[in-house]
Amino acid sequence: MKVHIIGTGLIGGSFALDIKEQFPEAEITGIDANESHLEEALEKGIIDATGTLEELSLADVVILAVPVDVSRNLLLKVMEMAGEDTLIFDAGSTKNGICTAVAGHPNRRKYLAAHPIAGTEYSGPGAAIKGLFRGKTNIICEVEKTAFKLQERALEIFQKLGMRIRYMDPAAHDKHIAYVSHLSHISSFMLGKTVLEKEKNEKDIFDLAGSGFASTVRLAKSSPAMWTPIFAQNKENVLETLDEYIKNLSNFRDLLKEEDYDGVFLEMEKTNHIKTILNGIN
């Protein structure tokens, strides 16, 4: 199996490592606009060779693992250059825009819209890790628009990598993911910003920050180059989630200001229900 991965960072590199392990015969070719990423991926054995878009006709599978603002236009080019029986899938965390962009494309059947909900706050080939996708949910949108034999090829890969599959409409995906992922990143970035602005002594932050702060602000280490386009592409849903979040923060502030500690307790007690929902998530 010839696999060409466009974007050799955390997600693309992790796909390469897991595919190598589960499909020992696979040949992994990396394509990346960042030459240093390609060199590092080669040195670390993440990919077997470097390639170009012009060679996509040779691929059995093409994985698009680039920022979402790049992937929409790049996917159109990839669909033109890939072979007739080449499976193409992406890993972007916004789906409605990209599905709309390719809706009328004559090669739409080659493409599977996917979003593996997996990652870390780190980026680049050095961040790639084996087993990143095991036990994680992979959301697939508009599966019926992908050729059946290519669906089967994709599902074999996803299942061997240990993913759980869920099917979802792309607009619904973007709405739900704004709440459970995009808002989390904004909250983390803004918490980090608030602390940096108010705690001028960085040693105080280091000495006083406990595990709660570290885990809450962890996502603030994520790449702005990746997340700014995500917020832009999912703007309407993100604004809706922010409005709800700000309303809840304002309400909590009012309860404290009014010394309504019974209200504060009840707000937190109601929210404790989330433990039963999230139980078992890594």
Share of the chain above pLDDT 70, in %: 92
Q: Which two tokens stand for residue 6?
A: 């466009």
What mean pLDDT do residues 55-60 have? 96
Spatial strand order in the sheet of 27-31: 49-50, 27-31, 2-6, 61-64, 87-90, 111-116, 137-141, 164-167
Is the pLDDT confidence value at 6 over 60? yes
Round to whole Å and give the CA distance between 8 and 42. Answer: 10
Is the pLDDT at 49 greater than 70, yes or no? yes
Q: What pLDDT was estimated at residue 209?
A: 59
Mean pLDDT of the residues in the chain: 92
The alpha carbon of residue 67 and the mean position of all alpha carbons in its chain are separated, in whole angstroms, by: 9
Least confident of 104-113, 147-156, 205-214: 205-214
End-to-end CA distance of the chain: 31
Residue ranges per domain, the chain?
Answer: 2-168, 172-278
The secondary element (H helix, E strand) that includes residue 223 is: none
Q: Which of 90-104, 133-147, 154-168, 184-198 has the lowest mean pLDDT?
A: 184-198
Residues with Cβ within 8 Å of 143's Cβ and at least 6 positions away in sequence, in order, are 112, 151, 167
Domain 172-278, classified CATH 1.10.3660.10, yes or no: yes
Length, in residues, of the chain = 282
Evaluate if residue 18 carries a pLDDT over 70: yes
Band of the pLDDT at 208, cuts 50, 70, 90?
low
- Write out the DSSP string of 162-175: TPEEEE--HHHHHH
For residue 280, pLDDT over 90 is answered with: no
How far apart are alpha carbons 161 and 180 in whole angstroms?
Answer: 23
Torsion of CA 38, 43, 48, 51, to 10 degrees: 20
- Grouping H, G, I as helix, E, B as strand and the rest as coil, residue 86 is coil
Burial pattern 214-227, b for ≥16 Cβ within 10 A else e, equals: eeebebbebeeebb
pLDDT digits (tens, 9 = 90+) for 110-148: 999 999 999 888 889 999 999 999 999 999 999 999 999
28 in Cβ contact with 48 (< 8 Å): yes
What is the chain's Cα-based Rg? 21
CATH number among 3.30.420.40, 3.40.50.2300, 3.40.190.10, 3.40.50.720, domain 2-168: 3.40.50.720
Q: What percent of the chain has pLDDT over 90?
A: 81
pTM: 0.86
pLDDT in the model for residue 211: 61
pLDDT at 121: 85
> Does residue 213 register a pLDDT over 90?
no
Predicted local confidence at residue 23, as pLDDT:
97
pLDDT band of 214, cuts 50, 70, 90? confident
Q: Please, what sign has the CA dihedral across residues 36, 161, 1, 68?
A: negative
Flag whether pLDDT at 271 surpasses 60: yes
pLDDT at 120: 84
Residue 27 and residue 8: Cα distance in Å, rounded? 15
CA 157 to CA 167: how far, in whole Å?
16
Q: Each residue of 220-264: pLDDT tens digit?
A: 888 898 999 999 999 999 999 999 999 999 999 999 999 999 999
3-state secondary structure of 129: coil
What pLDDT score does 218 carry?
Answer: 85
